[in-house]
Amino acid sequence: MVTIKDIARELGVSPSTVTRALAGNTRISAETIRRVREQAEQMGYVADSAARAMRSGTSALIGLLVPDIQNSFYATMARIAAQCCQRAGYQLVLSVTEDDPEIEERHVRALIGARCAGVMVVPTGGVTPATCQLLSGVPTVQLIRRAEGLRADSFGVNDRQALFAATGYLLDLGHRCIALLVGDKTLDTARARFNGYVDAFAARGLQPDIDLVCAGAPRASQGSEALRALLSRRVPPTAIVAAGAALTEGMLDAVSAHYGSTYPDVSLLGFGDTAAFRWWQGEGLSTIALPITTIAEAAGARLLALIKTPRAAAPSVESVSFDTSMVLRGSARPPVERS
């Protein structure tokens, strides 16, 4: 492994001069900096990030904690966040919490131990006091969800309005028996989405059938299980709204298994948008589209600004919610008469 001393020996300068040149110290001439960096590159020198972290108190690492990397929504968000970090000279470290507060705490401890420069987190539904305490000492932003007790800026969507619009659209098509697949109500996003669903009925002087609300872990398996239970009812719903990306994927898997090649006689409305949704069953899936790029870039910009700003001088905590949009395709239509 090439060291600072090896570069210094080749150039006939002191190791301290090489160190300062690689750091871009303004007391070193531009010509010396150029020569040192060229020599370092030729010799294949790689900076000791651990030693740099010891000297500066932080590393060039930024942590991203997400519940599930198989969820297309979080996978896309991770890709965009990584690009933002790379442009600013940082490296993204991805951790998967599986929506488990204890796993989340272990990952946070590891990131703090690695002296990460900042953290982006999609918090679990039960963030521990220890996690909140650990994150209070490092620049942090929350993505999609907001955890009580975690004092950090948050970036997400207007969840209530998204489900209010989606449910309202189905009601205006004539549906009254509308089921909702939603995450565990320990999550602030799930509570807001449920409220949007209920409020859409109330705005039209109606009441939803609460027995058609299926709440649970925001995973594909939960979406599939809930969908199978709904379709097995004596009187199945005429429309189903999935209030989560993973729940949508599970819903579609179960619908395909139930109906086979026959087009379903139930209207479906999903959450998030992928290429597969555009061509689902030939007519496409109507869905709530999310501004993933906007959210990730805004959160990344805020985190980078916080990293550069002394903690005491950082602005007050802010919650930023972006609007969603409806993408209407063939899966949402007026109720189908059943024999």
The pLDDT tens digits of the residues spanning 231-247 come to 999 999 999 999 999 99
Q: Are residues 21 and 76 in the same domain?
A: no
Q: Which two tokens stand for residue 71?
A: 């969820």
pLDDT at 57 over 80: no
Position 338 in a domain: no
Position 334 in a domain: no
Q: Are residues 252 and 281 in the same domain?
A: yes
* d(C-alpha 58, C-alpha 115), whole Å: 5
> For the residues 306-325, what does the mean pLDDT come to?
80
pLDDT tens sequence across 248-300: 999 999 998 988 777 788 999 999 988 888 888 888 999 999 999 999 999 99
Position 331 in a domain: no
Position 53 in a domain: no
Cα–Cα nearest to 329, from 268, 274, 271: 268
Q: Are residues 117 and 209 in the same domain?
A: no
Full residue range of the structural domain in which residue 153 is found: 59-157+292-323
Q: In this structure, what CATH number is given to the domain that contains residue 187?
A: 3.40.50.2300
pLDDT at 64 over 80: yes
Position 25 in a domain: yes
Q: Are residues 147 and 177 in the same domain?
A: no
Contact 93, 108 (CB under 8 A): no
Position 52 in a domain: no
Query: Count of domains in the chain?
Result: 3
The maximal CA–CA distance of the chain, rounded, in angstroms, is 90
Which residue shows structure tokens 């900096």?
33
Please tell me the pTM assigned to this model: 0.79
> For the residues 114-118, what does the mean pLDDT come to?
92
Query: In a 10 Å sphere around its CB, with 0-12 CB exposed, 13-18 middle and 19+ buried, how is residue 55 labelled?
Result: exposed
Q: Are residues 64 and 42 in the same domain?
A: no
Q: Are residues 184 and 133 in the same domain?
A: no
- Provide the sign of the torsion angle of the four alpha carbons 285, 269, 77, 94, taken in this order: negative
* d(C-alpha 119, C-alpha 93), whole Å: 9
Q: Are residues 270 and 243 in the same domain?
A: yes
Position 333 in a domain: no
pLDDT band at 54 (very low <50, low <70, confident <90, very high): very low
Q: Are residues 66 and 136 in the same domain?
A: yes
Q: Are residues 180 and 222 in the same domain?
A: yes
Contact 7, 36 (CB under 8 A): yes
Q: Are residues 164 and 153 in the same domain?
A: no
Q: Are residues 120 and 80 in the same domain?
A: yes
* d(C-alpha 264, C-alpha 248), whole Å: 15
Which residue shows structure tokens 């948008």?
273
Q: Are residues 125 and 176 in the same domain?
A: no
Q: In this structure, what CATH number is given to the domain that contains residue 16?
A: 1.10.260.40
Residue 330: alpha-carbon gap to chain centroid: 28
